[in-house]
Amino acid sequence: MNPSSITVLLCDDQELVREGFKLILDLEDELQVVAEASNGRECLQLVHEHHPDVVLMDVRMPVMDGIEAARRLAASGSSSRVLMLTTFDLDELVYAALVAGASGFLLKDSPRDQLIQAIRAVVRGETVLAPALTRRLIERYVASPAPGHGTPQALAALSERELDVFSHLARGQSNSEIAAALFLSEATVKSHVARILSKLALHDRVQAVVLAYECGFLRPGAAGL
């Protein structure tokens, strides 16, 4: 195996779906499918054995669904990034998947290039959720409280500068976009993001978006979203 390969585990209860994704990924030199699972329970065992960089995880599966598997992976401290696979872009389970620790989600009929780019993005620590899609999910599935005055208690641990970065982070902006907006270097932004996630005990950037809405820091339809 190429030492620079991105390793992928496929988890879907339909064999034909797994085969289809494997055919697509095998065309990319830097992507390596290391294992396949037909349900969440098998996935947990195979992640423990193979430590893949990315898990392509179906939402709905027998024995253990993708949401529970993602939740258990996050709780175990696994470094594997989870991309949830779903048939509908407004599946009511998608929000639960993000809260469980998934790094984003893809539609099963996504174009090949979008799938490849999404895998590369989450390995870089980015989210695959476009801001507009994030807004649609949050508006439908999060009943956020009305924003009050001052900083929500959930964000009290952040410094003023970290709150500035968090505000842009919660809008789905990349490190380069945040750097440009706040006149900082990308390295500085990366350090701030790492500290923010650590202080707030968040798994990744997607959970930062969720928290921003849940605590009332942002509202659906806020400017820039």
Task: Write down the CATH superfamily of domain 6-128.
Answer: Response regulator (3.40.50.2300)
User: Does 223 score more than 90 pLDDT?
Assistant: no
Question: Taking a C-beta distance cutoff of 8 angstroms, is the pair 59, 86 a contact?
Answer: yes
Give the pLDDT confidence of 164-209 residue by residue, as tens digits.
999 998 887 888 889 999 999 999 999 999 999 999 988 777 778 7
Q: Alpha-carbon distance 93 to 62, whole Å?
A: 15
* Pair of tokens at residue 99: 């809260």
Give residue 147's pLDDT: 46
Q: Alpha-carbon distance 106 to 104, whole Å?
A: 7
Q: Per mean pLDDT, which of 48-52, 145-149, 174-178 is the most reliable? A: 48-52
Give residue 95's pLDDT: 67
User: Does 131 score more than 50 pLDDT?
Assistant: no
Instruction: Say what percent of the chain tops pLDDT 90.
Output: 42
Give the pLDDT confidence of 69-112 residue by residue, as tens digits.
998 998 898 889 999 887 765 556 666 777 777 887 777 888 88
Give residue 138's pLDDT: 56
Give residue 174's pLDDT: 82
129-99-58-138 Cα dihedral, nearest 10 degrees: -50
Give residue 162's pLDDT: 93
Domain boundaries, the chain: 6-128, 145-214
Give residue 64's pLDDT: 92
Give residue 109's pLDDT: 81
> Check: CATH 3.40.190.290 for 145-214?
no
User: Sorting pLDDT into bands at 50, 70 and 90, what band is 213?
Assistant: confident
Amino acid identity, position 31: L
Whole-model pTM over 0.75: no
For residue 58, the cross-strand partners are 85
Give the pLDDT confidence of 5-44 residue by residue, as tens digits.
899 999 999 999 999 999 999 999 899 999 999 999 999 9
Q: Which residue has the higher pLDDT, 99 or 140?
A: 99
User: Does 120 score more than 70 pLDDT?
Assistant: yes
Q: Kindly tell me the sign of the dihedral angle through the C-alpha atoms of 124, 128, 134, 138.
A: negative
Give residue 12's pLDDT: 95
User: Does 137 score more than 70 pLDDT?
Assistant: no
User: Sorting pLDDT into bands at 50, 70 and 90, what band is 125?
Assistant: confident
